[in-house]
Chains A and B, each alone.
Chain A
Amino acid sequence: MKYSVFSLLREAFRGHAGWTPAWRKAEPKSEYDVVIVGGGGHGLATAYYLAKVHGITNVAVLEKGYIGSGNAGRNTTIIRSNYLLPGNEPFYEWSMKLWEGLEQDFNYNAMVSQRGVLNLYHSDQQRDAFARRGNAMRLHDVDAELLDRDAVRAMVPFLDYDNARFPIHGGLLQRRGGTARHDAVVWGYARGADLRGVDIIENCEVTGFDIAGGRVTGLDTTRGSIKAKKIGLAVAGNTSRVASLAGLRLPIESHVLQAFVSEGIKPAIDCVVTFGAGHFYISQSDKGGLVFGGDIDGYNSYAWRGNLPTVADVMEEGMAIWPGLGRIRMLRQWGGLMDMSMDGSPIIDRTPVAGLYLNCGWCYGGFKATPASGWCFAHLIARDEPYEVAAALRLDRYATGALIDERGAGAQPNLH
């Protein structure tokens, strides 16, 4: 069923009795041309573009829980393309371009909202660093504006501009950045893939790979064995575990990242604001809740929950830029599993096992990458060569030294 204002009107007159499920609950077949492991945003987007762009429709997405039960449904939904390094920036900008046409493309309301992402700076040195980043963005044809204090104050008047330790000097603004509805992105890609014949198979955990003569031929799952010519991994925080089933050891650590939502309040903040003196970011959902977060907890974890020192740290940082936050109650808090890579940048590449492809290393920032990640991963799987903007996201860059280290922090995942 195509969604449109006409289908909405028709259903409004019929008591909404005619809506059909947005995708089928598929049963696993014995064989596929391509199997994607992981039904998060990246896995589903990959299947969608495989079908839509490359005409490969004999595809299954295997998900161990329900689709979107991982980070895709847990993130703080910020989208932006304000990266510094040439290995990253064209990729994230391609993602931003795909976001801009996404809802029309997959005929689903993903609530993409280009409300602007404002990164605050708090010192002269930081202003220089942000000016450099803004210039790097503009060299890649990406919008960036360096705002002074007064311009920032006009946008968000209620911040603590004269904080004794972290006065706000200005900000770097990407107006095209913003937020999107994370669940709807998952559902939109799932529906679009399903409509084109892709099987989305939930409650199906991959437990092993069949490898013969260095080539993958299929996989074992909790719902039986499945043959596949090509297999793509898009399992985010579980990457090391799943890849180890194929004998791979990767430059990845799994870490927990927490996020927070306040009680709903009237519209207060109409863009995304980040605190430059630490790591804190905040926006407001359409339901009115303030959505915010900060750093990863900083130790290896598969626990899906974090600890209190990080909670305290996030709250303190929030209070440092927006003291009024102290009058608002926090409603919920949760954690997700980050696939932190050793240079803080992602990997979309082949593996030493023929027919097995890898998509991982998204760290705490892979939601914004969802469209381009799916696009580039689908291209790689279909054509066996990288899509241009993802060509630097290689697995062997750790061995060759062609790292993409935005922070310059070295091989220490909890510093990225």
Chain B
Amino acid sequence: MRIPCPYCGPRGNDEFIYLGDATVRRPDPQALGASDAFYEYVYLRDNPSGLHQELWYHGGGCRSWLVVTRNTRTHEISDVTFAAGGKL
């Protein structure tokens, strides 16, 4: 599996570190019901079979955090953007 880093170009996946689902958002700790929201944020995942938006860190390259859209059935990557200033 090679990940096309927008800065470094296509690189082997062993240069990257995987964090997981990029769609979960840290809730507001002051909000009502924050503890339920944190439980969902920390532990619950859609874990889709198909397209998955996920965070990868290019530790062996430009050291950017990336949002990668990948098909979990085929490992095919359809989109990569920088996490900073982008989708997050």
Contact = CB atoms under 8 A, between A and B. Distances in A.
Say which size band chain B's interface belongs to.
Answer: 20 to 34
Given A244-B46, A254-B47, 10 more contacts: A249-B40, A249-B46, A250-B47, A251-B44, A252-B47, A299-B70, A300-B72, A398-B39, A399-B36, A399-B39
A137 interface: no
Contacts of B52: 300
Contact of A342 (B18, B43, B46, B70): B43
A391 interface: no
Interface of B: 1, 12-14, 18-21, 36, 39-40, 42-49, 52, 54, 70, 72-75
Given A251-B45, A309-B13, A413-B20, A300 B54 contact: yes
Given A250-B44, A414-B18, A302 B54 contact: no
Nearest to A401: B39
Contacts of B46: 240, 244, 249
B43 A253 contact: no
18 contacts: A241-B47, A241-B49, A249-B45, A249-B46, A252-B47, A253-B47, A299-B13, A300-B20, A300-B47, A300-B54, A302-B73, A303-B73, A307-B1, A307-B13, A342-B42, A399-B43, A411-B43, A414-B18
The listed residue with most A CB atoms (<10 A of its CB), out of B21, B40, B45, is B45
A203 interface: no
Nearest to A254: B47
B45 A301 contact: no
A218 B66 CA distance: 43
A222 interface: no
A248 to B, nearest CB: 9
Contacts of B45: 240, 249-253
B20 A302 contact: no
A412 interface: yes
Contacts of B39: 398-399
Nearest to B56: A299
Contacts of B73: 302-303
A264 interface: no
Contact of A309 (B14, B47, B54): B14
Interface in A375-398: 398
Contacts of A300: 20-21, 47, 52, 54, 72
A197 interface: no
Interface string A249-278: 111111000000000000000000000000
A249 B36 CA distance: 14
A255 B39 CA distance: 22
A300 B1 CA distance: 13
B43 A301 contact: no
Interface string A293-320: 0000011111100010100110000000
A303 B13 contact: no
A298 B44 contact: no
A298 B72 contact: no
Interface in A210-263: 238, 240-241, 244, 249-254
Contacts of A301: 72, 75
Given A300-B20, A300-B54, A307-B13, A398 B43 contact: yes
A413 B44 CA distance: 12
B58 to A, nearest CB: 14
A187 B47 CA distance: 31
Given A254-B72, A298-B18, A249 B1 contact: no
Contacts of B44: 249-251
Nearest to A305: B75
Contacts of A309: 12-14
B12 to A, nearest CB: 6
B61 to A, nearest CB: 14
Contacts of A250: 44-45, 47
Contacts of B18: 298-299, 414
B49 A251 contact: no
A312 B20 CA distance: 23
B68 to A, nearest CB: 9
Contacts of A249: 40, 44-46
A250 B40 CA distance: 9
Interface string A274-300: 000000000000000000000000111
Nearest to B2: A307
B39 to A, nearest CB: 5
